[in-house]
Homo-oligomer: A and B are copies of this chain.
């Protein structure tokens, strides 16, 4: 025990709420704990912050170590610091939330002990991770209505219907097709591609990609992507 301090110190961890979208439902990535406490229970990926790394770095590192995922979108969520949230000792956890695209979703499914769950059908979770997840969901819903972060959850090429399905899944309510499309296009953020998306015996859909330059501009001066 070479590290000694005058006063007792809390341990510091990060936990990541990773959201993905499979076209139908919003999903969350969980890992099965191999060790006590809460052995064999499902939990958010996360772990201890090293003394020489930033919180953001710790979140990215733990996410990759435990699930193999990297993500473009990782944001601090909230810090959970009630005294008994870990039965062993005082542990303060800085929670993050991440959005990943479908390719990453299927990749993570390969990780032995990581699994995607639809948010509507979650197992019981270790520690206070259910609280963290609820906080993350609330935040995601809020953000979606004033920032165009939906793109982080879609493949690079997507149709307007896919975008709408995503919004409906996150917000939990159906949206009007015409109004949605009008609004989505009004931000001048979607670039139509030459390609079409053919699926099934019906009219194929126009594919779009989103314009990262305009996206960054909007990100800087604040958005207004209400739908």
Interface residues of A (CB under 8 A from B): 1-12, 48-56, 76, 78-79, 81-83, 90, 92, 94
The chain B residue with its CB closest to the CB of A56 is: B81
Partner of A3, one of B4, B50, B52: B4
Pair A5/B12 contact, Cβ less than 8 Å: no
Contact between B3 and A5, CB atoms less than 8 A apart? yes
Determine whether the beta carbon of A3 is less than 8 Å from that of B12. no
Residue of B nearest to A9 (CB): B9
Query: Are the C-beta atoms of B82 and A54 separated by less than 8 Å?
Result: yes
With A1-B4, A78-B76 in contact, do A92 and B55 touch (Cβ < 8 Å)? yes
Which residues does chain B contribute within 8 Å of A7, judged by CB atoms? 3, 48, 50-51
- Chain B min CB distance to A190 (Å): 26
B54 touches A90 (CB 8 A): no
Complex formed: what's the CA distance from A90 to B53 in Å? 9
Contacts of A78 in B (CB 8 A): 76
Q: CB-nearest residue of chain B relative to A14?
A: B81
A52 contacts across to B, CB distance below 8 A: 83, 90
Contact for A81 among B2, B5, B49, CB less than 8 A: B49
Query: What residues of B have a CB within 8 angstroms of the CB of A50 in the complex?
Result: 7
Beta-carbon contact of A55 and B81 below 8 Å: yes
* Chain B residues with CB under 8 A of A9: 3, 5, 9-12, 51
CA distance A8 to B53 in the complex (A): 12
Q: Are A94 and B76 in contact (CB under 8 A)?
A: no
Known: A7-B50, A53-B83. 8 other contacts (CB 8 A): A3-B8, A7-B48, A9-B10, A9-B51, A10-B51, A49-B81, A54-B81, A92-B94
CA distance in complex: A3, B2 (Å):
10
Contacts of A55 in B (CB 8 A): 79, 81, 92
Which residues does chain B contribute within 8 Å of A11, judged by CB atoms?
A: 5, 9
A172-B61 Cα distance, complex, nearest whole Å: 40
- A2 vs chain B, min Cβ distance (A): 8
Report the bound CA distance from A9 to B12 in whole Å: 8
Which among B10, B51, B56 is the interface contact of A49 at CB below 8 angstroms?
B10
Cβ contacts under 8 Å, A83 to chain B: 52-54
